[in-house]
Structure 1
Amino acid sequence: MELELVRLPNGVRIALDPMPGLATAALGVWQRVGARWEPAELNGVAHLFEHMAFKGAGARDARQFAEAIENAGANMNAATGYERTAYYARTVAEQAPFALDLIADILFEPHWAPDDLEKEKGVVAQERGEAFDAPDDRVFEQHQSALYKDQPLGRPILGTEAALKNVSVDTLINFRAMHMTPERVVVSIAGAFDRDAIIDTATRRFGGLKARPDPEREAARPQTGHASETRKLEQTHLVFSWPSPPAGSDQLYAARMLSEIFGGGMSSRLFQEVRETRGLVYAIDSATDTLEDDGRLSVYAGCSAQHAHEVAEVVRGQLELMAAKGPTEAELKRAKAVTRSSMLMGLEAPSARAEARVSQLFLRDKLTDFAELRARMDAVTCGQVQAIAAKALEGPACAAAIGPKAGHGALEAFGAK
């Protein structure tokens, strides 16, 4: 078998990625739906919908459903983001069609009892509390809120207590009807599996979905801004960000090279300058975060309050230096080696491959061989990386800080206040 894309007559896509030599598979159903499609009064409904997945489905109650998964030697989970919701499983090859059937039961025949819904709202409240108690998580939420102020993208995926009070079983039913459409569903599997059995199961369970108009969503409108929260902590937690290419952009690999050189590892400029040379932080790193229509180069740093101002100045100064002079050939070569290694590790992981195929289909509506992706990465030049850095400095820039008030001066030093 070879990599294959199957399109059902109604538009549901099935990505089949065989991996010779394996005895297991990773599979799932991904929907193009998430928190950015929620109205403010229902903030958190997409995540709560996903939480209700394991309350029983089809002919099985919650306990029987859990037992069915484990009797098959499988494990199953779900996750919600701003743009996607995933229901996925790992299983031995011969149980893959059965696992797909169980996921379909979750989506089409869920047990949504009002009492269970109220209990799950309580579980989500505990999840929100856990996130609030983790300042290195909370600072990213605050940054997101400032960056996309008064937009769905600026609201928390976990929702708010007030908004979730508005969610009923009928709300979940209507949400599913609006978003469970064939063009927004991808079935993906990687590893060892029976091709025909997977296609037959997917056709039987998803082939009856009816097309309907695509729900509207607001375009991303990133803003210059800042957020701060005073807490009695030992450290100040900082996030800084600038514009970067969106998901699916031809410039994405150049942006990833920039992030790797800038703050991706122990040899990166930020780690060497901010931690090793100046000793200002314990942790500092950078990442590229992408949406369908926006992207950010972000930096996280944890430091003492008295160092926060200097950390912000150095971080911005290092990006300005990158924009002015670009990376060295040695830095780019090292970044490509790290990225290539990460890519190869992903090739050996069925879960990573299954999810990568989903991204390809949602963004470009085709499956891309990993050799082609590597060629795109290898083609990145120092000049392209420099151009991404220069474009980033045009803004809008955004920053967030959590910790002692003395550390909040970093926001002004960064230029986001």
Structure 2
Amino acid sequence: MLKRARFIIILLLFSSAVYAGGSKVILDNGIKFIENKRDYNPTFSLVIMIKGGLFLENDKNSGIGNIALSTWVKSSELLKYVEEKGGSLHASNGSDFAEISLSIPSKYIDSVLPLLEKLFFERKIDDKIFDNEKRITLMRIKTILDRPDEYAIKNFMKTTYNGFPYSRDVSGDYDTVDKLTIDDIKSYLNKLISGKNMIVSIAGSFEKEQSEKLKTFFEKLNEGHEIKIDCNGSEIVDTKKVELPHKNIKQAKLFLGFDAPPANSNDYIKVKLLADVLGGGMSSVFFNILRKEKGYAYSVGSFYPSKLCNSRFVNYIGMNYENVDDAVATFLSVGKNPEKYISKEDVSKAKNYLMGRILMEAQTNYKRAWYAAFFELLGLGYDFFDSYIDNLENITLEDIIIVAKKYINDKYTLFILKPTN
């Protein structure tokens, strides 16, 4: 009881420090501009998320997003300046959105602003940097067999989404990346950078005048056309089982995925917690059964990615191939009979771990800006983190049992990467 009281006090202290304040305005060109002033931390972070991700790619240009974004940022004067001042500037593409993020000591904000404006309005693509990014990407794709875990996840996603945009890997395929040109990159960026699909989130120590300059600058970007995300085809329709041999592994890698809700679902936080209860660490249900009791696994766990469309609740395990059938049966049994395996203590431990991890992570200005943009893009609202913590605290054992039975069922994708022998 005393331990729980201490945890609640810590939670309240962190919550008031991390999540208080924040505001959002919509600029004339459709950009959602979010700011969170935190003057006690003399750093500044800016996160830009642009809706689209894999939905802006196709079978002919798969992988263009990552190469375009990395080439664009690395070709800029901004990157050199930020790194010289001890800051960071990154850009990448994801399943639902592209991200550009910048973090720097606050005293350099005024110097960064004109370089940031130049990044967007005087877009430069360096030939040598493009060739190098393309070469590195092709080499990584070519050597994926040397990274069995990555290879297994890539093929699981390809199997479970079966032609839906999420089935493509953000790195792309060798043939599509090999054919990309600088003109392709420029055309992609012109289409990507549009106000109606953009969220700009800032956090840290900054002056009102600096914030207003950012708004004025971003408001000059083209409005563009809003990207409509069509989620038809993202659900699991039929049970699939695929086994793929791999000559460089001695143990099988098993991924068992179930249809899971998009992030705007009322079940979102409950399923997030379920993933930690079942496979979130050494005190999780699956770890205790499959690793401690049965001695099957060298690694076991669960994950549930946040997606705009239907996600997957994935159980994974690395083990000897002869134990695969029993492992699958165990995963299914726990899902269908969660009341036999999950206790109040399991839920409480997972809840405390998840809350602590999120609260500690969100102490940085970068993560504060990132979460605000992320939840806004998912349709949950820039201030959803406040609700996230409250809702997480109120989840009960009964809630977890209900969502386990709801989502862990007989309709799933089973992918096994197995030794050739």
Q: TM-score range by the shorter chain?
A: 0.7 to 0.9
- Kept after mapping to 2: 8 A contact 1:246/1:294: yes
- Kept after mapping to 2: 8 A contact 1:18/1:190: yes
Q: Which amino acid aligns with 1:18?
A: K
The aligned counterpart of 2:173 is: 160
TM-score by length of 2: 0.87
Deviations 1:39-82 (A, max 9, x none): 2111111111112123423xx4xxxx543222333121122111
- Kept after mapping to 2: 8 A contact 1:238/1:300: yes
How large is the RMSD of aligned CA atoms in angstroms?
A: 2.3
Secondary structure, counterpart of 2:60 in structure 1: helix
Q: Which amino acid aligns with 1:282?
A: Y
Partners of 1:101 and 1:186 in 2: CA distance: 20
Which shows bigger deviation, 272-281 or 101-110?
101-110
Secondary structure, counterpart of 1:164 in structure 2: helix
Partners of 1:153 and 1:104 in 2: CA distance: 32
**Any stretches of 5+ residues in structure 2 without a counterpart?**
1-19
The aligned counterpart of 1:18 is: 37
TM-aligned CA deviation for residue 8 of structure 1: 1.7
- Kept after mapping to 2: 8 A contact 1:87/1:103: no
Q: Which amino acid aligns with 2:419?
A: P
Distance 1:103 1:394, change over 3 A: farther
Residue 388 of structure 1 pairs with residue 403 of structure 2: yes
Identity across aligned pairs (percent)? 18
Secondary structure, counterpart of 1:266 in structure 2: coil
Residue 211 of structure 1 pairs with residue 233 of structure 2: no
Deviations 1:229-270 (A, max 9, x none): 212312211211112221122211111121111111211110
TM-aligned CA deviation for residue 344 of structure 1: 1.6
Q: Which amino acid aligns with 1:134?
A: R
The aligned counterpart of 1:3 is: 22
Matches within 5 A, 1:4-403: 4-57=23-76, 60=77, 65-99=78-112, 101-114=114-127, 116-204=129-217, 206-219=218-231, 220-223=233-236, 224-232=239-247, 233-322=249-338, 327-364=342-379, 366-368=381-383, 370-394=385-409, 396-403=411-418
- Kept after mapping to 1: 8 A contact 2:371/2:382: no
TM-aligned CA deviation for residue 275 of structure 1: 0.3
TM-aligned CA deviation for residue 331 of structure 1: 2.1
Secondary structure, counterpart of 1:316 in structure 2: helix
Partners of 1:284 and 1:195 in 2: CA distance: 48
The aligned counterpart of 1:414 is: none
Secondary structure, counterpart of 1:306 in structure 2: helix
Secondary structure, counterpart of 2:125 in structure 1: coil
- Kept after mapping to 2: 8 A contact 1:25/1:193: yes
Which shows bigger deviation, 279-288 or 233-242?
233-242
Distance 1:267 1:146, change over 3 A: same
TM-aligned CA deviation for residue 148 of structure 1: 1.0
The aligned counterpart of 1:413 is: none
Q: Which amino acid aligns with 2:32?
A: R
Distance 1:116 1:6, change over 3 A: same
TM-aligned CA deviation for residue 125 of structure 1: 0.8
Partners of 2:389 and 2:380 in 1: CA distance: 19
Partners of 2:200 and 2:114 in 1: CA distance: 12
Secondary structure, counterpart of 1:150 in structure 2: coil
Distance 1:369 1:290, change over 3 A: closer
- Kept after mapping to 2: 8 A contact 1:142/1:227: no
Distance 1:227 1:117, change over 3 A: farther
- Kept after mapping to 2: 8 A contact 1:34/1:47: no
User: How many equivalent residue pairs?
Assistant: 398
**Any stretches of 5+ residues in structure 1 without a counterpart?**
407-417
- Kept after mapping to 2: 8 A contact 1:25/1:192: yes
Partners of 2:290 and 2:94 in 1: CA distance: 32
Which shows bigger deviation, 95-104 or 120-129?
95-104
Which shows bigger deviation, 175-184 or 268-277?
175-184
TM-aligned CA deviation for residue 186 of structure 1: 1.4
TM-score by length of 1: 0.88
- Kept after mapping to 2: 8 A contact 1:229/1:403: yes
